[in-house]
Structure 1
Amino acid sequence: MIIDAKRRNASRRDVLVGTAGALLAAAMIESPAMAAAIGKPVTSKTGTKTMGMIKTKDGTEIFYKDWGPKDAQPIVFHHGWPLSADDWDAQMIFFLHHGFRVIAHDRRGHGRSTQTSIGNEMDTYAADVIELADALDLKGAVHVGHSTGGGEVARYVARAKPGRVSKAVLIGAVPPIMVKSDKNPGGLPIEVFDGFRSALAANRAQFYIDVPTGPFYGFNRSGAKISQGVIDNWWRQGMMGGAAAHYDCIKAFSETDFTEDLKQIQVPTLVMHGDDDQIVPYADAAPLSVKLLKRGTLKTYKGLPHGMCTTHPEIINPDLLAFVRS
């Protein structure tokens, strides 16, 4: 009887392992998004994947990932609110496999970085990136920012030390400014952002389910291909960060005016935006930013949502690669 039980357990285990492997293989073969996220592996050694912390002048610890050859061109990814470096998985793996050095950090108050109660505004975010670039001695880096991260990129690149930055990319980014005012009549009313703050303070856990389930990835649109894993991962990243820092960051991403930053940027800058972005409406963002940039290029994606780097990496990744290599 004991022998039979062992055989049954082994048989069941073999079936489960075999089934899981078959499902994984099928998903990899059939999913263009998976293929695009991975890309064609380079034949040379890509180096050791690393991660670590830097401590800023005010004592804040900033978590970062740093993968790939240290002598390769660096690409630095800046995440949106209230996420973390993990939101760039599809792009990090793609560019790593194309021979680049890829770096992403958790903004202060987000992810694995210190849950700060101070400095949760754009000037300090940019100052943190300056310290990170110094610590890693980044030269000729391409800085890619999504949403709030796009604002961080704009402010950082405008202030970066000579030689640190070669190009910039703003994806579904908050510049020039989101909130409605006399100077920005096409912006969103302040009541929208007050609603964000109220929802976060009342029940952050539920709010961080509602956002990715609905407008962030366009999963509220008819015919959308909904991914529960993507929703859960958004929630996971959001809940890792600090509630107070996330609350303050709403003001940072909605009320900061990046007009002068955009005017000061000298490097080639690609502005990518989905025209069905329900978080950062297209008309009041990308076209206005390009007009302010000295060397800006606009690329509009018909029907794509705010979180298009995750939902459509098979489209976004090759376009990013073409720009980086241009």
Structure 2
Amino acid sequence: MPYIDISKSTLGSLRLHYQDFGQGRPVVLIHGWPLSGRSWEPQVAELVDAGFRVITYDRRGFGASSQPWSGYDYDTLAQDLHELMTELSLQDATLVGFSMGGGEVARYFGMYGSKFIRSAVFAAAVTPYLFKASGNSEGAVSDKDVEKKQASVLADRLGFLEDFTQKFFSDASGKLLVSESQRAYAKMIAAFASPKGTYDCISAFSKTDFRADLEKIDVPTLVIHGDSDQIVPIEVSGARTHKAIKNCELHVIKNGPHGCNLSHAKEFNSALIAFLKAH
């Protein structure tokens, strides 16, 4: 399996696993929490067939990447993405961030700008700022929410993942919109993630403020979000991200749950590919 070594790691050997398919303009797919690059399976083949070079990678702590004890803050995660971009000599690329991965897209722009970036996509993303804090009354996540989720991960991580993956793929009525086999597969992917990384990322995606990062995005951008997302509701995330970025399009998937890239793969892929071809 292909890996890159993280050169700036102070934790000893640290490697990121990635996959690289197709030819054409590069599209980098950044997965959500607590999954891996495997969660992009419904998108990869169609993007390659549409004429794009598709790169997926596993965030540190997840999938087949190294599982260090630390480094799950967004500055470090964006630095990992930058090292991948540099190692693969990616230019004129589109960054596509799902859920937690949307934060990496935003922070990448905040730290490195758009020199190598053609466009950006935020899919069911955690941007701009989920935490309910002073100056962010539109946030929906409290300290108690974060502590409760972290406590559940510590007490029974597999039990937490059972409930989480159910909600991940269900609409507002609680109806599961993918097969039970697909839900179980997502749980299996998440089960082999770093317990420490799984725990630490909860605070990262819940409490990181990406508003200043979004202001630096100066390339065509697409927001894709389901209007039945029970994990990251569109009202506190996708709708606000759309308003915060200039030259930004919004595609709302009707009755789409959080995992809309799987439950509504045909619509998701159509909107994504149309955007890529237009920009």
Would you call these one fold, judging by a TM-score over 0.5? Answer: yes
1:70-105 Cα offsets, whole Å, 9 max, x none, are xx1111000000110000001111111222110011
Name which of 239, 253, 256 aligns with 1:287: 239
- What secondary structure is seen at the aligned counterpart in 2 of 1:54? strand
Q: Is 1:52 aligned with 2:8?
A: no
Q: Which amino acid aligns with 2:264?
A: H
Q: Which residue matches 2:48?
A: 96
Contact preservation (8 Å) 2:171, 2:256: no
How many Å apart are 1:170 and its aligned residue? 0.2
How many Å apart are 1:162 and its aligned residue? 5.1
Q: Is 1:255 aligned with 2:213?
A: no
Which is higher, the Rg of structure 1 or of structure 2? 1
- What secondary structure is seen at the aligned counterpart in 2 of 1:145? strand
Q: TM-score if structure 2 supplies the norm length? A: 0.94
Aligned length: 273
Name which of 245, 248, 253 aligns with 1:301: 253
Q: CA RMSD in A?
A: 1.5
Q: Which residue matches 1:192?
A: 145
How many Å apart are 1:158 and its aligned residue? 3.2
Q: Which amino acid aligns with 1:182?
A: S
Q: Which residue matches 1:274?
A: 226
Q: TM-score if structure 1 supplies the norm length? A: 0.80
Q: Which amino acid aligns with 1:188?
A: V
1:22-72 Cα offsets, whole Å, 9 max, x none, are xxxxxxxxxxxxxxxxxxxxxxxxxxxxx5111112132111011112xx1
**Are residues 202 and 235 of structure 1, via their aligned partners in 2, closer, same or farther at CA, if it must alter by over 3 Å?**
same
How many Å apart are 1:219 and its aligned residue? 5.9
- What secondary structure is seen at the aligned counterpart in 2 of 1:158? helix
Q: Is 1:176 aligned with 2:106?
A: no
Q: Is 1:221 aligned with 2:173?
A: yes
CA distance in 2, matches of 1:225, 1:118: 35
Q: Which residue matches 1:146?
A: 98
Q: Which amino acid aligns with 1:212?
A: T
CA distance in 1, matches of 2:271, 2:21: 21
Q: Which residue matches 1:209?
A: 162
More helix by share: 1
Gaps of 5+ in 1: 1-50
- What secondary structure is seen at the aligned counterpart in 1 of 2:270? helix
CA distance in 2, matches of 1:221, 1:145: 26
**Identity level (%):** 37
Q: Which amino acid aligns with 1:266?
A: D
**Are residues 183 and 103 of structure 1, via their aligned partners in 2, closer, same or farther at CA, if it must alter by over 3 Å?**
same
CA distance in 2, matches of 1:103, 1:118: 25
Gaps of 5+ in 2: none
Q: Is 1:264 aligned with 2:216?
A: yes
Contact preservation (8 Å) 1:219, 1:226: no
Q: Which amino acid aligns with 2:198?
A: H
CA distance in 2, matches of 1:162, 1:288: 21
Q: Which residue matches 1:22?
A: none
